Amino acid sequence: MGNKPTIAISHLGCEKNRIDTEHILGLLVQAGYSVDTDEEVADYVIVNTCSFIQSAREESVRTLVELAEANKKIVITGCMAQHFQEQLFDELPEAVAVVGTGDYNKIVEVIERVEVGERVTEISAEPTYIADETTPRYRTTTEGVAYLRVAEGCDYRCAFCIIPHLRGNQRSRTIESIVAEAQQLAAEGVQEIILISQITTNYGLDLYGEPRLAELLRALGEVDVPWIRMHYAYPTGLTPKVLRAIRETPNVLPYLDLPLQHSHPEVLRAMNRPWQAGVNDRIIEGIKAAVPDAVLRTTFIVGFPGETDEHFDHLYQFVQRHEFDHVGVFTFSPEEGTPAYTLPNQLPQEVMDERRDALMELQQPISLKKNQGEVGKVVDVLIEQEHPETGELIGRSARFAPEVDGLVYVRGNARLGSRVPVAIASADVYDLYGHVATVADLVQRESIALG
Residue 449: its pLDDT value, please?
60
Asked whether residue 1 carries a pLDDT value surpassing 50, the answer given is no
Residue 82, marked binder? no
Same domain, 78 and 212: no
φ and ψ of 407, to 5 deg: -130, 165
Range of the domain at 66: 6-122
Contacts of 85-92 spanning 24+ positions with Cβ under 8 A: 85/121, 85/123, 88/64, 89/119, 89/121, 92/64, 92/68
DSSP 416-435: TT-EEEEEEEEE-SS-EEEE
One-letter identity of residue 103: D
Q: What is the mean pLDDT of residues 381-406?
A: 93
Per-residue buried b or exposed e for 194-213, using 16+ beta carbons within 10 Å of the residue's own CB: bbbbbbbbbbbbebeeebbb
Asked whether residue 58 carries a pLDDT value surpassing 80, the answer given is no
φ and ψ of 72, to 5 deg: -85, 145
Same domain, 152 and 301: yes
Q: What is the mean pLDDT of residues 322-348?
A: 91
User: Looking at the domain assignment, is residue 85 inside a domain?
Assistant: yes
Structure confidence at residue 89 as a pLDDT band (50, 70, 90): confident
Same domain, 230 and 350: yes
User: Looking at the domain assignment, is residue 140 inside a domain?
Assistant: no
Instruction: Give the CATH number of the domain where residue 270 resides.
Output: 3.80.30.20
Same domain, 213 and 331: yes
Same domain, 395 and 364: no
Residue 161, marked binder? yes
User: Looking at the domain assignment, is residue 133 inside a domain?
Assistant: no
* 112 sits in which H/E element: helix 107-115
Q: What is the pLDDT of residues 262-287, one digit of tens each?
A: 999 999 999 998 677 666 778 888 89
Same domain, 360 and 382: no
Asked whether residue 257 carries a pLDDT value surpassing 70, the answer given is yes
Same domain, 192 and 229: yes
pTM: 0.91
Comparing 343 with 2, the larger pLDDT belongs to: 343
Residue 154, marked binder? yes
User: Looking at the domain assignment, is residue 226 inside a domain?
Assistant: yes
Question: How many domains does the chain divide into?
Answer: 3
Same domain, 153 and 41: no
